[in-house]
Structures are given as structure tokens and as C-alpha cells.
Amino acid sequence: MKLLIIANRLPLKVARNKENQFEFSRSEGGLTTGLDSLETDLEKHWVGWPGAVMDSNEEEEQVREHLEEFNFHPVFLSEEQLHLHYEGFSNSTLWPLCHYFNVYTEHNSDYWRGYLEVNRLFCEVALQFVEEGDIVWVQDYQLMLLPKMIRQDGPANINIGYFHHIPFPTYELFRVLPQRSELVSGLLGADLIGFHTHDYMRHFVSACERILDLRFVLDHVTLNDRIAYADVFPMGINYTLYNDSPLLPEVQEMSLKLKDHYGDNKLILSVDRLDYSKGILHRLKGFRRFLELYPEYHGKVSLVMIIVPSRDQVDSYSELKNKIDETIGGINGEYSLLNWIPVHYFYHSFPFNELVAMYHIADMALVTPLRDGMNLVAKEYVAARRDNPGVLILSEMAGAAIELSDALIINPYDVEQVASTIHEALEMPEEEQLRRMSLMRRKIAKRTVNHWAQKFINQLLTIRQNNENSNSEQIDGHVLNNIHTAYKAASRRLIVLDYDGTLMGFKRRPEDAFPTESLRAILSKLAVDPFNKVVISSGRDHQTLESWLGDLDLSMAAEHGAYYKEAGEWVRNIPEEKPWNDEITQILHEFTDRTPKSMIEEKETTLVWHYRNVDAWLATLREQQLVETLIEPCSRQGLQIMRGNKIVEIKSPNHTKGSEARRLIAMDNYDFVMAMGDDTTDEDMFRALPESAFTIKVGRMSQVARFNLSSQPKVLSFLKALMA
């Protein structure tokens, strides 16, 4: 079994030196280093872009050969593909949108074309290596279409995971994307979709429900072929690396030099990539306000601001850079003393050891993004301080704020709060600093990047187990042959068919789901065979079934067996009076009034609340509220509450599709029994039938049925094939 990690970048990057020769170096960033050092028994492979555009096939071959030694499989991209996919759709559409910068979101169909094309290229490379039984783990927003592509074109028996490293925004923002449906469908190709926080997961679930009309039950959604899960896995850092590095002689030396350089000044450190989401300008405003409010700290506190150049060929980034330069110039111009500079500004990256030395000596870290998926800098600072005092000021908009609740949490837009919190941090007693730092250290020492990856992969393996345990076998050519053979060999056949969702698809109005001519023709042909007893077993009322199918030679069961029809006669199977009283009807009416597009259906033996057309979020809320409200009166009146496919039913517990199936089985000595249904109520029927019965769940997976037919439109051709 292999683990194939697919990320935009490989852990090794290639660049040309002055002599135009290739040089390979480690890619920076928490993700690649973290995942590359992942301890696992699985054989690890990577697929990703190698970091440079190749000029010829020979160059590609040369780079490929070197990378393949490490099981790194390069995806080569042209300048245009990089522009459209990476700078375009990934960083000018998805990135701003997911970070709530809607004004920067560009909608450009060429970007989308490039995004599709590059996702497809990644898929093609991945498929050269992925085999049955492998685990595929796709990383981040540059590859949101990939899980579905691999699911469709890859081997059947693989597990696919996806991790979203940036925020997943609220549906109200995500819905503006013209490609919203393709993007969420792309992610649902995965078995497990991971996020840093429960808020991002909640937004993703809501987007799936609203855009694709799916229904999640807590953390999972049942799709046609499998169950997909969403979950929260906050990413950690390589704790030992950051905690141990300050002890390295070269880092100690660097730390001493820096301390010497900055003297007695208290140091506030900030480290970011150049990005509008990082809140750099707001932070500078906060620091300026601090200097205004607390002149006693002039000459005693400096902000060391490290900004790593990034995307500065994009207009919005170069504008940001100019504004930062101006603002820092303004602060330093106004407040500098002969022997003191308020802001030390570095617009370049530092070697790892120097960065760790800065972390190690800084008295405070000021991490104030306006939005950030997680933010690893905050965690790295805490680890690198070792057991020294220190204060972390952290934005509530960073995913890290959920775990690092012992930081001083601020709203980065609140300039006054930033200023007063810097002051609070400077005045914080050392004991309090030590207490908070130690609490945070304990958390990040445990939840490392390795732990994060292990948890994700273990969860993926558990899901594999769950999906395998579901005993439904897909009806393909081979299975169909077996059922067909058994059908042909039999002479006393019982065939029980659910109606809605099985023989007919759902309609917005239940009365519109009347049988088509082709359905009637198939049922008629099935019923005319003297070896067959064909029963329509439905939750519908008997009048409707009679008016739609009464002229055919079928047996029927209506309202879950409260009525049945044998030899042309309808029989009422339960007492005359309605099993519920006004109290229940009133509750249902109240809920219908408060829930636009919901409705009540009152049958003789069942009361049904339909919410098929209700807004997904409201439907979930009201369904739960209704069931909760009904529990007490229904148990008092000996009634059963059943949750069906976008309905809640209230009925007597004495008759179900299960009791009807038992009645049918007892009628004869059948040598072929087959039942088909799509709903949870049909599972009662599957359970009641003998083990040898061909129980077939339509549409969704089932823990009970032996077989699965992936969608309702396939039912009629299946029945036709059976009779052929």
C-alpha cells in the first residue's frame, strides 16, 4: 500500500543557477517539511510542481530522473498554465474569496480553464502511480477538482483524502463563485475532507447542502457509491525542530549577536508573507497608536517586522508593499530617536537558523492576520522561546486562536485594542507570561505536524474499513447476471418494490410523481408472469396507489402496510380510528406555519410532515425541533416517529414495511425473493426478509441491503434486464 501525497509543490525544488544548470534545494514551508518527515509504514510518494518551467523534453527528463530517486513525481507546467492556474484562479480568485477579500476576487473564465487543465495534468501524473488499495492525499485549494477526477478515472479500491489549508468561507461568500458546484463536487470525490477548524468545516457542509442539495448527518454524507466525511484536524509544527534549534551553537551565537545589537530594547516580532490577509497595515496602525498612547515606552520597545516577498508582481500585492513602506517610513520618521528606531523592517526571507534566533530572543510575537487558515508562525514562536517568558498576541481570525487560547487574543481590526494589548503584554508579570507560555507549549508539543498527518491518515483508514463493512455490493454486469440466473431458475417469486425514490424519482409536489407509461408497461409485464407475485409496498395512501396502478394485476401495501391489497381487494390492517389526537396535528400545523415550503400530508393511518423544498439549514433546524417536540406526546400516545427522505412520519408502531414483508413471506414458499427500496423505512423490509433474499438499496449505501443500485433511473432498466 502506498501513500501518494499530491501538493502544488514538491518537497524538493529545482532552480537554474548562473550557468543555467539545475540546482535542487528543499522547499520551505510547514506543509512540505512536515509531511516529508512523516513517520509512516506506508511507501511515500509525492506528486507536485518542481518549481521551474522546463525549456525542453530533455530538461524535463533530466529533472524527472533526479526527482524520481526520492519518489517525487513532477508535474511540468508551462508559463501560461502557471499564470492561469496558480496566479490566476488559485491566487486571484480562490485565495481572496476564502480570506473574505471579495473585492480582490477576480472572475475570469481563462483562469478557470487553466485551473481545470492543471488539475487534469496532476490527475494524469498521479494515475501513473496510484494502484488498487493505495491512499491518495490531496493538499489545498490549488487542487480542489482533483479528488473527483482521481475518483472517476483511478482504480476502484483507493482512499482519497483532501486537506484545505486556508479558510473555507461562509456560503454567502462562496456562492458568488460561478464554479461553486464543480468545486464542492470536486472535493466530495474524497472520502475525508479535512479543515483546520470546525468553522471552516461548518461552512463547507453548508455549501454542499445548499449547492448540491445533499444532506449531511453530523460529519458525513451518504453519496451514491460511498460515505464521505468532513472533519477537523488542526495542523501543528515540527515541535522538536523549533524547540531544539535554539540550542544549536550557531543559533546561540546568532541570538547573542542580536541581543547585543538591540540592547535593552524590548522586541516585538512579526513574521509574514506579503499578503493582504496578514493584516500588516492594521498591525502598523495598532503599533503607531501604542506609541501615541504610551510615550513612556519610546526608546524602549521596537517592532521587528519580517515580511517575506510574495506574489509582488500581482497589482494588489505591489500596492500593499508600497503602503507598508510608506507607513513604516511615516512611523520611523515621526518617532525615531538618535539611538532608537521604532520599526526594524526586513523585506526578505531569513535562513532558518536566523529566523529561529529571532523567535528565540523576541519578548513578544504580534500575529494579527485579518484571516488565516491556521498560522504556523504563532506556534513556532511559542516552541522556540523554550521555557523563557514571552507573550503571544494573536488574532481571533487565525485558526490557531482556537488552540492557543492562552495567548492574548485580539480583533485585528480594532486598532485601539491592538495598542492596549501591546501595553498589557509589556506590563504582564513574568510569572503570568511563564504560565501562559507553558500551557501553549504543552498543547503544541503534543499536536505536532506528524500527529496531524497520522490522525488524518488513520481516520482515512477507518473510513475505508467502514465503507468495506457496508455489505452492499454494487450491481454491475456480473452481479446482474447472478440475480438474473436465480430469477430464471425460480418458479415462485416474490418481488416487493417501493414506489417513491425507487420506481419513480422524487418530484417537488408528491402528486406529480404519477407512473409513466414505461413504468406501467414494465410492472404489467412483471405481474403478468404467473410465477411472480409483485407487490408495491409504499408509504403512500391506498387511494393514490389504487388510482395510479389499481388496474394492473399487482398486490399492494399502502401506508407502510396499514392497508394491503390481495386478489383485487383492499384490506384495512389496523383499527378504524386515527391513532393520533389533535395535540399532534396542532404541533405539525405550527411547524408548517413557521417553515416556508413545508407541508402536511394526512393519511388515514399516518401523518407526514414534508420538508423537501425547504431551505437546507432551516430544514435541519426544524426537523430536529419537530422530532424533539413530538417525542413526549408520541410516546404518551404510543406512536412511532419515523425520519424518512425529507419527511417526518407519525404512525402506529404496529405496522411497518417490515411487518408487511413478514406477512408476505408467510403467504407462500417462495424460491426467489427480491425487494427494492431507497429509504430508511425500506430497511425494515430488508431486515425482515430471509438472508437469501435479493435486497437492493437504490441510490444510497446501506448497512442492511445486500446490493446497491446507484441511482433511481437505473431501476427500470434493471427490471427489464431481469425479465429478458
Q: Is residue 366 involved in binding ligand GDG (CB under 6 A)?
A: no
Q: Cα(277)–Cα(371) distance, rounded to whole angstroms?
A: 5
Shortest distance, position 409 Cβ to ligand GDG, whole Å:
16
Looking at beta carbons only, is 214 or 376 nearer to ligand GDG? Answer: 376
Give the interface segment with ligand GDG, choosing from 348-356, 540-548, 554-562, 585-593 (CB under 6 A): 348-356
Q: Is residue 698 involved in binding ligand GDG (CB under 6 A)?
A: no
Residue of 35, 355, 647, 675 that binds ligand GDG (CB under 6 A) = 355
Cell of 589: 400545523
Contact between 185 and 152 under an 8 Å Cβ cutoff? The reply is: no
Give the interface segment with ligand GDG, choosing from 27-35, 83-91, 259-267, 513-521 (CB under 6 A): 27-35
Name the nearest CA neighbour of 73 among 52, 56, 40, 50.
50
Shortest distance, position 273 Cβ to ligand GDG, whole Å:
6
Shortest distance, position 269 Cβ to ligand GDG, whole Å:
11
Shortest distance, position 353 Cβ to ligand GDG, whole Å:
9
Q: Tell me, by CB under 6 A, how many residues bind ligand GDG.
A: 22
Name the nearest CA neighbour of 162 among 360, 4, 36.
4
Shortest distance, position 585 Cβ to ligand GDG, whole Å:
52
Task: State the DSSP H helix or E strand holding residue 46, giving kind and residue range, or none if neither.
Answer: strand 43-49
Contact between 422 and 364 under an 8 Å Cβ cutoff? The reply is: yes
Contact between 227 and 462 under an 8 Å Cβ cutoff? The reply is: no
Residue of 377, 463, 647, 674 that binds ligand GDG (CB under 6 A) = 377
Helix residue ranges per DSSP H, 294-429: 315-335, 352-361, 376-384, 400-403, 415-427
Task: State the DSSP H helix or E strand holding residue 590, giving kind and residue range, or none if neither.
Answer: helix 582-594
Task: State the DSSP H helix or E strand holding residue 528, giving kind and residue range, or none if neither.
Answer: helix 517-528
Residue of 350, 413, 506, 570 that binds ligand GDG (CB under 6 A) = 350
DSSP, collapsed to helix, strand or coil, labels residue 504 as strand
Looking at beta carbons only, is 237 or 552 nearer to ligand GDG? Answer: 237
Q: Is residue 273 involved in binding ligand GDG (CB under 6 A)?
A: yes
Contact between 587 and 631 under an 8 Å Cβ cutoff? The reply is: no
Residue of 149, 192, 268, 271 that binds ligand GDG (CB under 6 A) = 271
Task: Mention every residue, 6+ apart, whose C-beta is less than 8 A from residue 132.
Answer: 155, 156, 157, 158
Shortest distance, position 401 Cβ to ligand GDG, whole Å:
11
Looking at beta carbons only, is 116 or 453 nearer to ligand GDG? Answer: 453
Burial (Cβ within 10 Å: 0-12, 13-18, ≥19) of residue 695: buried
Beta-strand (E) ranges in 604-717? 606-610, 640-643, 647-651, 672-677, 694-698, 707-709
Cell of 204: 463547507
Residue of 76, 100, 294, 352 that binds ligand GDG (CB under 6 A) = 352
Give the interface segment with ligand GDG, choosing from 28-36, 249-257, 334-342, 481-489 (CB under 6 A): 28-36
From its phi and psi, is residue 561 left (phi > 0), alpha (psi between -120 and 50) or beta? left
Partners of 268 in beta bridges: 303, 364
Shortest distance, position 400 Cβ to ligand GDG, whole Å:
7
Q: Is residue 375 involved in binding ligand GDG (CB under 6 A)?
A: yes
Looking at beta carbons only, is 31 or 513 nearer to ligand GDG? Answer: 31
Which amino acid is residue 577, in one-letter code? E
Catalytically annotated residue among 272, 498, 500, 684: 498
Residue of 11, 186, 234, 373 that binds ligand GDG (CB under 6 A) = 373
Task: Mention every residue, 6+ apart, whose C-beta is less than 8 A from residue 473.
Answer: 479, 706, 707, 708
Q: Is residue 541 involved in binding ligand GDG (CB under 6 A)?
A: no
288-347 binders of ligand GDG (CB under 6 A): 306, 308
Shortest distance, position 245 Cβ to ligand GDG, whole Å:
11
Residue of 376, 619, 650, 688 that binds ligand GDG (CB under 6 A) = 376
- Residue 498 annotated in active site: yes
* Total count of residues recorded for the chain: 724
Looking at beta carbons only, is 12 or 608 nearer to ligand GDG? Answer: 12
Which amino acid is residue 100, in one-letter code? Y
Straight-line distance from the first to the last Cα atom of the chain, in angstroms, rounded to the nearest whole number: 42
Residue of 374, 415, 584, 693 that binds ligand GDG (CB under 6 A) = 374
Give the interface segment with ligand GDG, choosing from 22-30, 110-118, 176-184, 439-447 (CB under 6 A): 22-30
Cell of 354: 536566523
Q: What is the DSSP letter of 498?
A: -
Give the interface segment with ligand GDG, choosing from 52-60, 173-181, 284-292, 373-381 (CB under 6 A): 373-381
Task: Mention every residue, 6+ apart, whose C-beta is less than 8 A from residue 214.
Answer: 188, 208, 221, 223
Give the interface segment with ligand GDG, choosing from 219-227, 349-357, 408-416, 594-602 (CB under 6 A): 349-357
Residue of 209, 363, 380, 684 that binds ligand GDG (CB under 6 A) = 380
198-257 binders of ligand GDG (CB under 6 A): 235
Shortest distance, position 180 Cβ to ligand GDG, whole Å:
21
Looking at beta carbons only, is 440 or 614 nearer to ligand GDG? Answer: 440
For CA atoms 554, 559, 564, 565, the dihedral sign is: negative
Burial (Cβ within 10 Å: 0-12, 13-18, ≥19) of residue 572: middle
Task: Enumerate binding residues for ligand GDG (CB under 6 A).
Answer: 28-31, 165-166, 235, 271, 273, 306, 308, 349-350, 352, 355, 372-377, 380
Which residues are known catalytic residues?
Answer: 498
